[in-house]
Amino acid sequence: MSEQKNHNDWSIAKAVEYYNIDGWGAGYFGVNNKGHLCVWPYGQPGPSIDMLDVIDEIHDKKLSLPCVVRFQDILRSRVQTLNQTFAKHISEMDYTGKYFGVYPIKVNQMREVVEEILDAGRDSHFGLEAGSKGELLPVLAYNDDPEALTICNGYKDEDFMRLAMLGRKLGRRVIVVIEKLSELPLLLRVAEEMQVEPLIGFRAKLSTPGAGKWVSSSGDFAKFGLTAPEIIEAVKILKDRGKEDALKLFHFHAGSQLTDIRSIKEAVKEGARIYAKLRKMGFNIEFFDVGGGLGVDYEGSNTTSHSSVNYTLDEYASDVVHNIQQICKDEGVAEPHIVSESGRAITAHHSCVIMSVFGSIQLGEDENQLNGTDTEVVLKMREVVAGLTPKNLQETFHDATALKEEALSMFKLGILGLEERAKIESLYWKLCRQIVQINSRRKRVPKDTAHLEVLIADQYLANFSLFQSAPDHWAFEQLFPVVPLERLDEQPLRESTIVDITCDSDGKIDQFIDQVTPRSTLALHELRPGESYHVGMFLLGAYQDIMGDMHNLFGRVNEVHVFCDDEDPEDFYLEEVIPGDNIADVLCRLQYFPSELVKTVKKSVDERIKSGAIKPKEGMTLIEFYEQVIKSYTYLETGRPRQTNLEIPAESLSNGLSSVELLRAR
């Protein structure tokens, strides 16, 4: 970070390197010669889409930011690349089985996402996975390819089993995976009652542990799956019922976001041995399901950190095919069709959230703007700050810290005034900024001042809710790429963190991707009065949409679906626009009904009118405004001032205040 601060040779190439766009972008993201972030939906080279053009289209549709942007062509590209990669290695190794991809809809259940994935994978008979009754209902409706697989995972009750057998009645390849032993007799009973032949899968609880943040979902103490003794008991149940031919799939799951290719290899080897032993016991298993876990390199470091992976899709597919083939050859059994449930790797790249930055908080103020005569302690602090040199940096910092503490004690005793305290603090933070500048030119930073860079970082105020748009960053410290969408040809000079508009101290982004280890600040550009500044958060397509919550009643954000179109002047069009929640939507979910709220407020206004506290016309205007706000977007209306008859100061509108703050500003 210090290198980019101290050189004047900033360029677009430097921006790509600093934000590590090539590392996490997988060929889909880059910067054009205008300094704008661009998207290549089919990968580079190919048609590109300027993110600022997308923002213009969003505003033309009368939508406000924040806004989720889905690049549906990236979804298609990910599905096709996954199928093509497995097909290539199967062909190169003369593997006798085929590849059947399955998308677990829990990763992103949005209808448009599921439809796009199924359409992109139609020629490869791409299937779906459901982990609950709620998920199985749309899966049965949409996965109508008789050759594609429908995998039923998760704990199951009788209704779940009957839904699955309904799919079998429709001629679908619905495979019920047995997660616990008691499910098997239940399935066999339901299938017999419905007079249909079930397709059964066994999920094994492997001893091989996974790797990454979600390692607990695998290994001996995993939540799901059958132990070796339970598999033997399940085998006995099938043989006793004469249902050996019903067992069609062997399944295991080594974990989500597997970071280390070695754990994948070991899990496949253990799983393949179990598969081979089951084949030798007389079960004609056709499918070998390696589960999910194919990871995404969110930070682009190509390491085993929680937000990265140390392998590529090509290496993953090659190792899966090779290790299954080798075990089958050693055991002398047939090579099965390979199934993977790769949801994160398919969906992560296609979605981002665009947010506007509407202000910043900088630590300390210019002490020259503070009036009054300097007291002795203020003069001492001025001398300390003026005497700073690279050689006495640490000593000066210690002296300034001592003076700041002395001033605070004097203030508590009533000896020092508020103006003098303000000057002391402003001078202290001025010194800290100067120390950071000196440290940025050093290879080794003194330990006592190493923390100052983070301490004095600006806070950029972004119009979004972290809890709604990127809950995994808050809950699991998952890293997502954050990049300004414009001015990338200019050097960013403000070390910053990003805070959202919730009134929660955890609503902030203070861990950012880097090429080696995460950084605590991100360099952004100085905000210019009267100019917009946009930041994007990327790789949000997996899990974030469905897991977002309504902290502070900030609901789902506006959403647009972008498709590439070479014939369009801007190389894209918005295929679908989905308005986000308005305030009425989120209130209704909590049993606050807008009509009742308006009625209650109107009653209070009427009482004030009767008492003469407010005039009738003003009262009606207040009620009208209250109703307008209920129907408005849950996020700040920073781009488009609200039309209202209330006389609200113009400066309040331009400062991006919320609706409640606007009312208070009256």
Q: Could you read off the pLDDT of 249-260 as tens digits, one per residue? A: 999 999 889 999
Are the C-beta atoms of 179 and 154 separated by less than 8 Å?
yes
Beta-ladder partners of 151: 129, 175
What residues contact 641, with CB distance under 8 A and at least 6 apart?
A: 653, 654
CA gap 559, 354 in Å, rounded:
10
CA torsion, ordered 617, 621, 627, 633, to nearest 10 deg: 170
CA gap 270, 376 in Å, rounded:
75
Structure tokens at 415: 């000896």
Structure tokens at 278: 């089951």
Q: Strands 247-251, 199-203: parallel, antiparallel or unpaired by DSSP?
A: parallel
Q: Whose CA is closest to 378, among 389, 367, 387?
A: 367
The predicted model gives 201-205 an average pLDDT of 96
Compute φ and ψ for 98, nearest 5 degrees. -115, 175
Angle formed by the axes of helices 594-610 and 616-630, to 10°? 160
**Residue 451 pLDDT:** 87
**Residue 174 pLDDT:** 98
Q: For a pLDDT cut of 70, what percent of the chain falls above it? A: 91
Q: Whose CA is closest to 400, among 383, 421, 414, 420?
A: 383
CA gap 526, 172 in Å, rounded:
58
Structure tokens at 526: 């100085």
Are the C-beta atoms of 21 and 299 separated by less than 8 Å?
no
For residue 656, pLDDT beyond 50: no
Q: For a pLDDT cut of 90, what percent of the chain falls above it? A: 80
The predicted model gives 25-53 an average pLDDT of 95
Higher local confidence (pLDDT), 440 or 609: 609
Lowest mean pLDDT among 367-371, 463-467, 613-617, 656-660: 656-660
Q: What is the DSSP secondary structure assignment for residue 490, as one 8-state letter?
A: S
Domain made up of 367-453: CATH architecture:
Up-down Bundle (1.20)
Q: Whose CA is closest to 340, among 178, 139, 103?
A: 103
Structure tokens at 165: 């057998």
| b/e sequence 572-585, b meaning 16+ C-beta within 10 Å | bebeeebebbbbbb
CA gap 216, 259 in Å, rounded:
14
- The 10s digit of each residue's pLDDT in 451-492 is 888 888 999 999 999 999 999 999 888 999 999 999 999 999
Ranges of beta strands (E only) in 581-648 are none
- The 10s digit of each residue's pLDDT in 295-326 is 999 999 999 999 999 999 999 999 999 999 99
- The 10s digit of each residue's pLDDT in 634-648 is 999 875 444 443 333
- The 10s digit of each residue's pLDDT in 549-588 is 888 999 999 999 999 987 777 789 999 999 999 999 999 9
pTM, 2 dp: 0.88
Chain Cα centroid distance, residue 73: 19
**Residue 531 pLDDT:** 94
- The 10s digit of each residue's pLDDT in 419-441 is 899 899 999 999 998 998 899 88
Are the C-beta atoms of 253 and 288 separated by less than 8 Å?
no
Average per-residue pLDDT for the chain: 90
Q: What is the DSSP secondary structure assignment for residue 226, as one 8-state letter?
A: B
Length of the chain, in residues: 666
Q: Which CATH number is 93-342 given?
A: 3.20.20.10
For residue 218, pLDDT beyond 60: no
For residue 371, pLDDT beyond 80: no
Are the C-beta atoms of 575 and 72 separated by less than 8 Å?
yes
What residues contact 279, with CB distance under 8 A and at least 6 apart?
A: 285, 331, 333, 334
Amino acid type, 530 = G
Q: What is the DSSP secondary structure assignment for residue 633, as one 8-state letter?
A: B
**Residue 362 pLDDT:** 84
Asked if omega into 649 is within 30° of 0 (cis), the reply is no
| Sign of the CA dihedral with 543 first, then 547, 552, and 554 last | positive
For residue 121, pLDDT beyond 60: yes
What residues contact 451, with CB distance under 8 A and at least 6 apart?
A: none
Q: Whose CA is closest to 560, among 415, 351, 258?
A: 351
Confidence band, pLDDT 50/70/90 cuts, at residue 146: very high
CA gap 223, 256 in Å, rounded:
13
| b/e sequence 84-109, b meaning 16+ C-beta within 10 Å | ebbeebbeeeebebbbbbbbbbbbbb
Give the SS3 label for residue 124. Answer: helix
The tokens 């205008």 sit on which residue? 34
Lowest mean pLDDT among 138-152, 164-178, 364-378, 614-628: 364-378
Confidence band, pLDDT 50/70/90 cuts, at residue 211: low
Are the C-beta atoms of 167 and 187 separated by less than 8 Å?
no
Q: Whose CA is closest to 51, among 635, 572, 580?
A: 572
For residue 197, pLDDT beyond 50: yes
Are the C-beta atoms of 310 and 304 separated by less than 8 Å?
yes
Rg of the chain in Å (alpha carbons): 30
CA gap 116, 138 in Å, rounded:
14
CA gap 516, 522 in Å, rounded:
15
Q: What is the DSSP secondary structure assignment for residue 518, as one 8-state letter?
A: -
Classified by CATH at the fold level, domain 2-71+351-362+456-581 comes out as Lyase, Ornithine Decarboxylase; Chain A, domain 1 (2.40.37)
User: For the chain, how far is it from start to end, CA to CA, in angstroms?
Assistant: 45
For residue 6, pLDDT beyond 50: no
Beta-ladder partners of 509: 498
Ranges of beta strands (E only) in 204-346 are 247-251, 287-289, 337-340
Asked if omega into 47 is within 30° of 0 (cis), the reply is no
Structure tokens at 47: 């048609």
Angle formed by the axes of helices 228-241 and 183-193, to 10°? 20
Q: Where are the domains of the chain?
A: 2-71+351-362+456-581, 93-342, 367-453, 584-665
Are the C-beta atoms of 311 and 259 separated by less than 8 Å?
no
**Residue 46 pLDDT:** 87
